[in-house]
Amino acid sequence: MLAASLAVVTVGSVACDRLPGKPPPNPAPVISVATTAGFEIMWAERCSGCHGADGQLGAGLPMRNAEYLNAVPDSDMFSMIRNGVPSSRMPGFGGDAIGGVSDEVIRDFIKGMQVTWAQGDASNDSLGLPWRAPDAPGDVSRGATVFAAKCAACHPAEQAAPTQRGSTPDQLIAGSVTDPFYLRLVSNQHLRSNIVFGRKDLGMPGAAGPFRGPDGGEVTGGLDAADVADLVAYLASKRNTWPSGPEVEDGEP
């Protein structure tokens, strides 16, 4: 009873003290996004829908991957989060974006992501290959050869319908990555990042392998820098193999 009347008195006096529009004297403490607690709030609001609630198992590349986070240069991470990835579904969260956050918050958010997910994982799926693609373009026909030898068994161009696959479908047989419509949705960097770092969350090996040969058997031996560049060049060469009209941006008639 006493507590209830005190509460009313307090609220009343605050209300009388303040001019309309004057900010409250003690704003609620804001948790910095440079800490795990603050980072998790912003991740849940802005990233989890596409990159997974837990930083993995989303449509976008998992960020809960220490090797990946340590390999992406800070300046690239900053510009992708601030400005998005052009011609892809990755939106920008800073700059002129509606509800955009300041550059300072983005920098803190990257720190928060690092303290939360970039520590203590000694895996070497990438064999130390850099995140960024080399300037020289890869060799398309060599890429086709590597793809047939190491990737096609898991990424067939066409798949039998589930009912024709028998009672124990192989969970690792993944979608086509040579389909032009898929390729138009993603950038070459997205292809490279998947090939170099893999997707542990979904069973996609990184550059270290192991891969799968045309007979379905395991193929050991990792990819080197030229293999990755050639694979990306080969996949990219498939992007425009299906004729279509000019691309139309969202909202255009």
| Residues contributing to the site for ligand HEC (CB under 6 A) | 46-47, 49-51, 60-61, 63, 77, 80-81, 85, 88-91, 93, 147, 150-151, 154-155, 172, 174-175, 177, 186-187, 189-191, 193-195, 199, 202-205, 211-212, 231
Closer CB to ligand HEC, 12 or 49, in the complex: 49
Q: Which of 67, 74, 80 is nearest to 118 (CA)?
A: 67
CB of 84 to ligand HEC, least distance (A): 8
Q: Smallest gap, in angstroms, from Cβ of residue 124 to ligand HEC?
A: 16
CB-nearer residue toward ligand HEC: 21 or 199: 199
Which residue's entry shows tokens 């898929």? 182
At its nearest, how many Å lie between ligand HEC and the CB of residue 43? 7
Cα separation values, 1 from 6, 7, 8, 63, 67, Å: 9, 10, 11, 51, 57
Nearest to 205, CA basis, from 185, 225, 222: 222
Least distance CB 151 / ligand HEC (angstroms): 3
Minimal distance in Å, beta carbon 100 to ligand HEC?
11
Select 49 or 169, whichever has its Cβ closest to ligand HEC: 49
| 118 class by beta-carbon count within 10 Å (0-12 exposed, 13-18 middle, 19+ buried) | buried
Nearer to ligand HEC, 116 or 193 (CB): 193
Q: Which is nearest to 199 in space by CA: 172, 220, 225, 223? A: 172
E strands in 95-173? none
Which is closer to ligand HEC, CB of 6 or CB of 185? 185
SS3 211: strand
